[in-house]
Structure 1
Amino acid sequence: MKTYKKIILSSAFGAGLLFSVTSCVNDLDTVPLASTETTSDKVFSENLDVYTSSLAKIYSGLAIGGNSGGEGDQDIAGVDGGSQASFLRGLWNLQELTSDEAHCCWGDAGVNDLNTMTWSSGNVFIKGLYYRFLYQVQLSNAFLRQTTDGELASRNVSDSDKAIIKQYRAEARFHRALAYYYLLDMFRNVPFVNEESAIGSYPSQESAQNIFNYIESELLAIESDMINPTVGFSSTEYGRATKAAVWTLLSRLYLNAEVYIKAPKYTEAITYCNKVINAGFKLEPVYANLFKADNYKSKEIIFPIRYEGADNQTWGGMTFIICSTVPSSMKGEINAQDAWQGNRAKISLVNTFKKEANSDKDSRMSMVRTDKTENQEIVNPSIYPGNGTPIVKYVNKNSDGTNPASNLVWVDFPLFRLGEVYLTYAEAVLRGGTGGSKAQAVQYINDLRLRAYNNDSSSAITADDLTLDFLLDEKGREFFFEAQRRTDLVRYNKFTGDNYIWTWKGNTQAGRSVESFLNIFPLPADEVGSNSNLTQNPGY
C-alpha cells in the first residue's frame, strides 16, 4: 500500500479554504475565466504546512471535482463535478468518444454528440472540461500571487522554507502550463491570464502561437527548480511533477507544434525524449501491471494522477474509467464497486489489433473483450451490452492478484509514461527531426512490442516496417483508452475529412467525412457571451 506525504493529493487537503473562485457575471452559474479571486491573507502564514496544503489543492484538481467525498462541495458551479467538470473524465470523453476507439451508449445530454462528432458550443462536457482547465489556471495563479518574495518576507517565512516554496512555485507553474497545453490542444485561441493579470477583469484572447510560446517559455524557465526525476515509488516524491514531467510535456508540445503553430519542431521533441529516456525510467515488464492498483511501483510511470480509495473518492476519474468500460458480470473479478459498462470499443479499435497477423498473441489485445459482446459492431447504441466491445484494461487489483484495501479505486492514471516517449521519439525521427536515428527508433518500438508479445521475437519489426501509418496503429494498440487518441488523429490529418472513416463518425453508422473545423472544439457559448474580447472558433 502507498504511503502518503501531504504534498500529494487528498480530498482533505486544501478543502477549498485557501482559494475561492466566484463568477463576476451575475446571470451565469458557471465560473468564467474573468472571475474574481479572493485569497485570505489570514490563512497564509509562516507555517510551511499551509503552502503544502495549498499546492496539494492544485494537484487534487486533476483527480477530483470537489472538496469532499463523491464530488461534494464541488469546485465549479453550474456543471456536475464528477461527470462534467472532472479533469480526467472530461479529458477521456473528449479524447476517446470523439475518436475511432470508444463509444458511449448512455443517453445523457451531450454524450452522443461526442460519439458522432456533432457537438456545438453548448455541449456540457466540452464546457465542463474547459472550465476545469481554467480553474487549474486560477488556482495556480492564486498560489503564485501568495508566494512572491515580498509576501513571504512579510510573513517572516524562514529561509529554509522559502527554498521549499520556490520548488512549490515551479510545480504550480507546471500545472498551469499543463492546463494551457490542453486548452491549446483542444481550443487553440483562448483567453489568457497569469498571476500578474488584473483580478476581475475580462482577459483578452491570445493566439495559438502566443499560447504555445508561453507554455514553452514557462516549462523551460521552471526546469531547474523542479525536483529531480524519481524512478519508481518514493514515499516523498511519487505523484509529484518532476523535471521528467516537464520534459515529457515539452516533447508532446513539440511533436504537435506543426498542428498548433504550423512550425515543425521534431528535433526539439527528440531532444526532450532523450532527456526522459536518459533519466533512468524503464518499461514495466508486464503491460497489464501498468493499470493495476499497485501501479505506483512501476518504473515506467513518469507522472500519475493518484487515486487512494476513500481519500479521494469520485464518480469521475478512475472510478469512471474502470466502471464504465467493464461488463457487470466482471465487477467482482476486477474488484470494482460497480460496473456501468456504457463505454464500448468501436470495431475500428478491434481492427487496429487485427491488422497484426498474430494479434491473438498480443497481451494488449486480451483486454479488448470480444468474448463479452454479441456484436462487435455498434448497430444500436441504446442496447448494451451487446453492441460494441467492452474493455477490461484498468483493474482494481494488485499485480499479484490480491485486492487493495477496498473496492474503491486505487489505480493511478499514468498521464505520462515512458512508452509514450518511445513512440514520440520514433515519430519525430520519421517526420524529419535530428538528434535521433531510425535504428534507435526501431529498437524502442520493438521494446514495446516484445513486452506486448511476451518476448516473442516474431513480433519485432524492421526499419522497412517502421512507417508513420504503422506508428499510428501501434500508438493505438499501446495507448487505447488512455485519453490520447483524438490528438494523434488530428496530427495525422485523419480526425476530420475522408482520409479515415469509422462507424458513427458524422452521425451515420457507416461513418462519413466531416468538416475540418471539428479538429478543435468550440469555446463554450456562455464564455463567449460573457466576454466581448473573445471570438468563437470558426465553424461554430
Structure 2
Amino acid sequence: MKKLINIRYFLIGLGISYFASSCVDLEEEVFSAVTADNFFKTDEEFISALGQAYSSLGGLGNHSGLWSINEIASDEIVVSHKGGDWFDGGVLLQLHQHEFQPDNPFLQNTWNFLFGGINTCNRLIFSFQQLDNPNSPAFIAELRALRALYYYWAMDAFGNVPIVTDFTSTEAPDTKTRKEVYDFILKELNEIIPLLPVAKDGTTYGRMTKWAALMIRMKLYLNAEVYTGTPQWALAAADASEIINSGRYSLSPSYKDNFAINNSGSSENIFVYPYDKVFAGGFNWVMMTLHIVSQSTFNLTQQPWNGYQTLEEFYNSYVDPEKNPGVQGPVWKGLALQPSTGTIDGRLSNFLVGPQTRADGTVLIDPGVEPTDPTGRNGDPNGPPLTFMPYLNEISPGGLRQAGARIAKYEFEMGGTNNMSNDFVIFRLSDVILSLAEARFRLGQTTEALALVNQIRARAGNLSPFTTLTEENLLAERGREMYVEMTRRQDLIRFKKYGSAWWPFAGMNRPKRVHSPGSFLELFPIPAPQILANPKLKQNPGYN
C-alpha cells in the first residue's frame, strides 16, 4: 500500500507535467485548466506536483548514468569487452581503467540526470513561492532537501559545478569551487532540516524526511576532509547518532529483505525510489547483469544483455579461500560455495555464481561459450552448462561470456520484465551505523567503533566478530555491506585507496593506472558538451 500511494502521486505529477507542456489547439474550447488558483489547495495536490521532482530519480537504476560511473570506476564492477559485445567505443573501459575523458557519454548522461533534477526542483520551488498558501513552506523545504541531494551527488562526482537556484534566470551560470558547493549544500540542509517531516509511514515513504536530509549532511561531514580539506568527524558522528537514536529505523533481521521484490516494509531503508515494472519503470539491473540465456532461469519476458560483472578480488573479499575451497584464484577450480569448515558470509546473496538452470530445474546450456574458456567444460557438443565464474580472464577484448559473479543484490522476479519492481535503496541504516563506527574510529573511540561494526557482522550471518578494528577491515566491511549501493568509489577516496597500487586488476590482462591519493582522477571531468554550451564553466584540473 505504501508503494501504491506514492506511485499514484508520482503518476499524477507526471500527468500534470505532460498537460502543462503539450500542444493545444487554439480553437479548442477549454473547460478546465490547472492553475495556482485552482489546483494547489490540498496536500495531495502538492504531493502530486512533487512527483515531478522525485520521478527524476528514476534514472538511478539503469545503464550509463550516475550509478554506472560510480560503480565501474570502483573496484566492485567491471563490464568486460566480450568479443563483439560491450566494447561501446571503449567508454566502459575508460571508466574502469581511470582514463576518464570529457567526451565520455556516461558523464554527459550523469550531468543531465543531476541538473535535470535540480532544474525540476527549482521550477517547482518557484511555482510554490508564488502561492499564498500555508502548505507552501513545508513542501518548498522538501524540494530544497531533494535539490541538496542532487547537488551532493554532483559535487561528489564533478567537484566544481555551478549553483543554480533561480528558475527565472537567463544568465549562464559560473563554476563554483567544491568548497563553495559544499557550503551551499550545508547551509540549505541546516535551514530546512527543522522543517521536514519526522514520520516514517506511508505518507513519507519515498520522500525527503528529516532523517534522509540528516543522512545527506552526515555524508557531507564524513567526507569533509576530501571536499574541503578539514575533517568533521565529530559532526558526522552527531548526525549519525541522531538518526540511530530516533528509534525509527532498525536493522532488518535478514540482509536480503532490504532488497526483496516487495521491500517497502523494510525497517532499515531510510530513503528509496519506488520503482514499479508497470507504473515506474527504469530499474534494469536484471537486463544489465544476467547472461543472455538466463532468460530461461527466471522466465523473463526479454533477453538480458550479459554485461555487468563483479571483480574477482571483490567477490573473494567475502570468502576466505583457505577455508572455502570453492574460490581458488586465479582460475575457478570448483563450484561448491558451502564449505565444510570455516565461516560463510550471508551477504554472498549479493551475487549469482555457479551452475545455472532453467526455471524447471533442468540444465541450462550456453551454446556460445568460447573455445578458450579455461574451465574444462567444453566437452559437450551442445555447449557447456551455464556457470557463472568469479574468475575474470581479462577486461578486453576477449572477456569470457560466463566470467564474473553477477549482481544479485536485488531479488529477481520469476516471470519478470526488463523493469524491476524492487524499490531502489538510496539510504539505509547500515550505512549510518558503519559511518558512525568510522567517525568514532577516527576520533580514537575504538571500543564503540568496534561494537558498531560487529552489529553489522552479526546480522550478516555466521561470521566471527572482529576483535580489533583497523582501517583495512573497516573499509572491507563497508565494501561487503554496501556493495553496489553507490558508496564504494567515495569510500576508496576517503580511505586513500582509490587507484592506488592496491587497485585490483589481477588476471585481467590490462595495465592498471596507479595514482596517488589526491590525484585529479578523484574527480570526473566536466562533460565536454557542457563546456561548449557554457564557456563560463571551468574544466577540472588535469583534463584540459
Tell me if both proteins adopt one fold, taking TM over 0.5 as the criterion.
yes
Distance 1:227 1:356, change over 3 A: farther
Distance 1:405 1:10, change over 3 A: farther
Aligned-partner Cα distance in 2 for 1:404–1:223: 42
Letter in 2 for 1:62: L
Distance 1:188 1:408, change over 3 A: closer
The residue number in structure 2 matching 1:501 is 503
User: Cα offset for 1:327?
Assistant: 3.6
Q: Does 1:211 align with 2:172?
A: no
Aligned-partner Cα distance in 2 for 1:257–1:53: 35
Aligned-partner Cα distance in 1 for 2:219–2:8: 24
Aligned-partner Cα distance in 1 for 2:181–2:410: 34
Secondary structure at the counterpart of residue 317 of structure 2: helix
Q: Does 1:431 align with 2:472?
A: no
Q: Does 1:341 align with 2:314?
A: no
Please give the residue correspondences for 1:119-198 in structure 2 after superposition, counting only pairs within 5 Å. Answer: 119-148=100-129, 151-153=130-132, 157=133, 162-163=134-135, 165-195=136-166
User: Cα offset for 1:123?
Assistant: 0.6
User: Cα offset for 1:64?
Assistant: 4.5
Contact 2:160 2:176 in 1 (8 A): yes
User: Cα offset for 1:363?
Assistant: 1.0
Distance 1:522 1:64, change over 3 A: closer
Distance 1:267 1:8, change over 3 A: farther
Distance 1:535 1:220, change over 3 A: same
Over residues 474-525 of structure 1, what are the superposed CA-to-partner deviations in whole Å (9 max), with x where a residue is unaligned?
A: 0111111222111111111111343x221189x9625341472110001111
Please give the residue correspondences for 1:261-276 in structure 2 after superposition, counting only pairs within 5 Å. Answer: 261-276=228-243
The residue number in structure 1 matching 2:351 is 368
The residue number in structure 1 matching 2:535 is 532
Letter in 2 for 1:217: K
Superposition TM-score, scaled by structure 2 size: 0.79
The residue number in structure 2 matching 1:73 is none
User: Cα offset for 1:406?
Assistant: 7.4
Aligned-partner Cα distance in 1 for 2:96–2:513: 13
Letter in 1 for 2:533: S
The residue number in structure 2 matching 1:481 is 484
The residue number in structure 2 matching 1:57 is 52
The residue number in structure 1 matching 2:331 is none
Distance 1:374 1:224, change over 3 A: closer
Distance 1:9 1:501, change over 3 A: farther
Distance 1:83 1:452, change over 3 A: closer
Aligned-partner Cα distance in 2 for 1:294–1:327: 24
User: Cα offset for 1:534?
Assistant: 1.7
The residue number in structure 2 matching 1:28 is none
Contact 2:319 2:344 in 1 (8 A): no
Secondary structure at the counterpart of residue 131 of structure 2: helix
Q: Does 1:513 align with 2:501?
A: no
Distance 1:227 1:343, change over 3 A: same
Letter in 2 for 1:267: A
The residue number in structure 2 matching 1:322 is 286
The residue number in structure 2 matching 1:95 is 70
The residue number in structure 1 matching 2:194 is 224
Q: Does 1:5 align with 2:10?
A: no
User: Cα offset for 1:108?
Assistant: 2.2
Over residues 115-157 of structure 1, what are the superposed CA-to-partner deviations in whole Å (9 max), with x where a residue is unaligned?
A: 2221200010011111211111111111111112xx213xxx4
* Structure 2, unpaired ranges of 5+: 23-32, 81-85, 325-342, 355-386
The residue number in structure 2 matching 1:352 is 317
The residue number in structure 2 matching 1:395 is 411
Aligned-partner Cα distance in 2 for 1:166–1:335: 48
The residue number in structure 1 matching 2:424 is 413
Q: Does 1:108 align with 2:88?
A: yes
Aligned pair count reads: 468
User: Cα offset for 1:378?
Assistant: 3.5
Secondary structure at the counterpart of residue 415 of structure 1: strand
Aligned-partner Cα distance in 2 for 1:357–1:391: 24
Q: Does 1:202 align with 2:172?
A: yes
Aligned-partner Cα distance in 1 for 2:119–2:394: 43
Contact 1:170 1:222 in 2 (8 A): yes
Contact 2:298 2:416 in 1 (8 A): no
* Structure 1, unpaired ranges of 5+: 22-40, 66-80, 85-89, 398-402
Distance 1:496 1:330, change over 3 A: same
Aligned-partner Cα distance in 2 for 1:383–1:394: 25
The residue number in structure 1 matching 2:269 is 301
Over residues 272-304 of structure 1, what are the superposed CA-to-partner deviations in whole Å (9 max), with x where a residue is unaligned?
A: 001110122100111111111111101100001
Distance 1:255 1:332, change over 3 A: farther
Please give the residue correspondences for 1:77-96 in structure 2 after superposition, counting only pairs within 5 Å. Answer: 83-84=63-64, 90-96=65-71
The residue number in structure 2 matching 1:441 is 449
Q: Does 1:422 align with 2:433?
A: yes
User: Cα offset for 1:336?
Assistant: 4.8
